[in-house]
Structure 1
Amino acid sequence: MNIKCVIVCLLIYFFSFIYASNIEYDGYVHINLRHALVSSESPVFTDRGNITIQSLRTGSSTIQQKALSQSDKIKLRDLSAANKFYQLKSIVTASDGSQVSFVSTIKACMLVESELSDILSVSLDYSGKVITVTLAVASTSTCEGATVPIDKLKEFTTSVFVRHTENGPVPDTATYIQKLEREREAKERGEVKDNRSFLAKYWMYIVPVIIIMVLSSAANPDGAGGAAR
């Protein structure tokens, strides 16, 4: 391989690395949040706000959410009193313009008792693509039956966390295959010594002989006793 080919290969590798880094770590996404405040088999989602994650690598984001109207506060309080679920639809728009939607639900009473303090977890795959958006509350994992004044339900206080996929350990199959190949070649050349004990080598011959002797002794108890005397 001449020097020109080496330089071309290095340049291709360098720009491929930069491109992968841009996709995996330097991309951004926009998330439109819409929620359903009335329990229904066909829920109607209304606008709640927007989140922009400027850097998927660092997780830095900006959040803009609307204050709840009086009617929305009443709907959310009634949803909580009826022990129903609050539904959040997250419409994710990636930097390449592609869109995907996720729906997450929690008990409305949990959201009300946290006074609208919630957590949005955005999970990414190895390439930086959003694979899930899930909702949780910060203060409690169950409904405790606390009474929350309706004026406490003014607006959402949301924390956004970006979760990256962690790669697991990759087995070193190449080294293992090379080891097997070396062992096979050594056996063919007769270089591999069998260090097993005598019993380990010839047990398949010894065991049948012992079985035959035991069966013969059991079949001729008188002969065995006479031989003993």
Structure 2
Amino acid sequence: MKYIAAVFSVLISCFLISSNSLEHDGSLTIKLQHALNGGPNPVYTDRGHITIHSLRLKQAIVNQSPLTDIEKHQIQKLAEDNELYKIKAIVTANDGTERTFISAVKACMLAESELDDKFAVSLDYMGRVIGVTSLIASKATCEGAVVPLDKLKEFTTSVYVRHSETGAIPDTASYIQKLEREREAQEKGEVKDNRSFLAKYWMYIVPVVIIMVISSASNPEAQGGGQ
């Protein structure tokens, strides 16, 4: 049992070490598209792209072009109409696979922040993207102020890459040690058995009762003679 506990401890330690870092490093590209029209039917146009060269080091480069005058007016109108600014993130991994994630923020918050936003890229332990979320970096409050067009020139975007966290690990080693102590105590006779008489010796009592019942049933004459 001691050897089993030691093996479990080593396995759990190895699991914790591996879960705190990515199993494989790699790179990926995220193509950004945004919808500048309100309503239930968004029309997405290109906004730019994010390149992450190292998932371990969380190094990201953002490339985005300045907004055109038409795009500035569209964002301003979205904010005035209290609409959502929708983002589509198309993730291409280094093996060529693609995944698409859609998120949204209030357009008025984006405008009041002067296009200062943030993307949170969530990875699993294998380095696969499991989520891309758009956030507002500043403390915009959507108070209804009209943001001038000259404040809506281009996006100031930061990227935060985060690895998924491991949940709580059961203390298997301690549990095994507890079982081992209980077994050793039983072998030494240190553990008192508080069960009732029937609970302790039922396996001996039941066969005797069965034999007595069968014997009585097979000798009815003996019973009659007793009467």
* TM-score between the two structures when normalised by the length of structure 1: 0.70
- Tell whether the 8 Å contact from 1:25 to 1:55 is kept in structure 2 after alignment: no
Structure 1 gap ranges (5+) = 1-16, 203-229
8 Å contact kept, 2:80–2:144: no
Could you give the per-residue CA deviations for residues 88-115 of structure 1, whole angstroms, max 9, x where no partner exists?
Answer: 0000111111111111100000000111
- Measure how far apart 1:193 and its partner are: 3.9
Identity of aligned residues (%): 54
Cα deviation 1:32-91 (Å, max 9, x = unaligned): 000000013221100000110111112111111121111111111111100000000000
Structure 1 residues 112-171: Cα deviation after superposition (integer angstroms, max 9, x where no partner): 011111011111112211111111112125212222111221111100111112223422
Aligned length: 177
Residue in structure 1 matched with residue 190 of structure 2 by the alignment: 192
SS of the residue corresponding to residue 83 of structure 1 reads coil
Aligned to 1:133: 132
Amino acid at match of 1:36: A
Give the Cα separation in 2 of the matches to 1:178 and 1:97: 48
2:41 corresponds to: 42
What is the rounded CA distance, in whole Å, between the counterparts of 1:32 and 1:108 in structure 2? 20
TM-score (ref. length: structure 2) = 0.70
Paired residues for 1:117-156 under 5 Å: 117-156=116-155
Other-structure match for 1:176: 175
Report the aligned-residue RMSD.
2.5
- Rounded to whole Å, the distance in 2 between the matches of 1:56 and 1:80 is 35
Report the counterpart of residue 160 of structure 1 in structure 2: 159
**Counterpart position of 1:9:** none
CA distance in 2, matches of 1:121, 1:193: 56
Aligned residue in 1 for 2:205 = none
1:61 is the counterpart of 2:84: no
Residues of 2 paired with 1:25 and 1:145: CA distance? 47
Structure 2: gaps (5+ residues)? 1-16, 196-227
